[in-house]
Amino acid sequence: MITVIGSLNMDLVIQMADFPQQGETVLGQQFQTSPGGKGANQAIAAARLGSNVTMIGCVGDDRFGHTLRTVLEQEHIDTTSLLTAPESTGIANILVHHKDNRIIVVPGANYKLEPTHLDAVKDVITQSQMVILQLEIPMETTAHAIKLCKEANVPVLLNPAPAANFDMRWMDDITYLTPNEIECAQLFGNDFDQTLEKYPNKLIITLGRDGARYFDGEYPIHVPGYMTKAVDTTGAGDTFNGALAYALVEGQSLDEAVYFANIAASLAVEQLSAQGGMPTLSKVYARMAGFDE
């Protein structure tokens, strides 16, 4: 079983021809709502591949919260540990102009997920084969989750986004850290080779279409990505993390798991929205075999 502890948001996406200047009103071209939040995204990515997934997080008692809970349940994700708070469900307001975007996140109920709630569902966490974390919930809650996992010897995959919420003291107690290049530079500086050697088989830097890098204890490893025509890269990193967790829990080696995750992410970017293109296991294996369904 994989347990995801993290955020659930409703994405409010506005397509526009021009960004408004201060004090200016412009007409948008298109509006849509899309379920999101890095925690929910990664949970769905793992579940769609076949993992038994439990989601621990917090939503509001409102329409968005009810929708996000229903979406998880439709993906066969266990939501019995999902808390409902009086605050509004978290949202991300995404303004899209051609290939540029500006995002405003209001955490809302996500920041009501407290350490005491994790204690209440401790058995779920400690019986997990792996716990996935991101950084869109309170830092003290993330720290407590890592502590519970350490005590129970449960592997932790932490995706440090946003990187500003990462505490370097966690490095000794997590199993895998998966920053992208920007996040890695924010955390460790720009000397990636030296940093990778410092954290063998733990630090995995995602490179988008170029794949991912890590150090295996003897040699630097570059696992290439799959070249595809991206339609929407939103959620590609979340797909990578969910797929990586799935593959590792299934007993794949780190090299095999990173390759598997790269393939899953390549499929995800071929569809619109963060969750819309997250692939099933059969689609990943079809691409790995050299043909697509």
Q: What pLDDT sits at residue 104?
A: 85
152 is in an annotated binding site: no
d(CA 158, CA 152) in angstroms, rounded, equals: 17
What pTM was estimated for this model as a whole?
A: 0.93
Q: Quick check: 154 and 125 in contact, CB under 8 A?
A: yes
| 150 compared with 102, residue with greater pLDDT | 150
Give CA separation, 266 vs 128, 176, 259, in Å: 28, 21, 11
Report angle CA 31, 94, 91 to the nearest 5 degrees. Answer: 95
Instruction: Give domain limits for the chain.
Output: 2-9+37-90+107-289
Q: Which helix or strand (DSSP H or E) is residue 263 part of?
A: helix 254-268
Q: What is the fold, at CATH topology level, of the domain defined by 2-9+37-90+107-289?
A: UDP-N-acetylmuramoyl-L-alanine:D-glutamate ligase (3.40.1190)
pLDDT attached to residue 35 = 94
Judge whether 51 and 42 are in contact, CB under 8 Å.
no
Mean pLDDT comparison of 5-9, 223-227, 261-265, highest-scoring range: 5-9
Query: Tokens in use for 97?
Result: 């102009």
Q: If pLDDT is split at 50, 70 and 90, which confidence band does 50 have? A: very high
The Cα 214–Cα 141 span in angstroms is 28
Q: How many Å apart are CA 216 and CA 242, to the nearest integer?
A: 21
Q: Please give the average per-residue pLDDT across 195-213, as a whole number.
A: 94
Share of the chain above pLDDT 90, in %: 74
242 annotated to a ligand binding site: no
> Does the annotation flag 10 for ligand binding?
yes
- Residue 208: other Cβ atoms inside 10 A: 17
Q: Which residues pair with 32 in a beta bridge?
A: 13
Residue 238 bears catalytic tag: yes
pLDDT at 274 over 90: no
pLDDT in the model for residue 272: 67
> Is 261's pLDDT higher than 60?
yes
Between 20-24, 66-70, 154-158, the lowest mean confidence (pLDDT) is in 20-24
Q: How far apart are CA 165 and CA 156, in angstroms?
A: 17
* Catalytic residue of the set 18, 100, 119, 238: 238
Tell me: is residue 233 an annotated ligand-binding position.
no
Residue 34 neighbours by CB under 8 Å, 6+ apart: 10, 11, 13, 273, 274, 275, 276
> pLDDT exceeding 70 applies to what percent of the chain?
96
pLDDT at 89: 98
For the stretch 120-149, pLDDT in tens is 999 999 999 999 999 999 999 999 999 999
Q: Identify the pLDDT of residue 105.
A: 86
pLDDT digits (tens, 9 = 90+) for 218-256: 999 999 888 777 666 667 889 999 999 999 999 999 999
254 or 284, greater pLDDT: 254
pLDDT of the residue at 59: 98
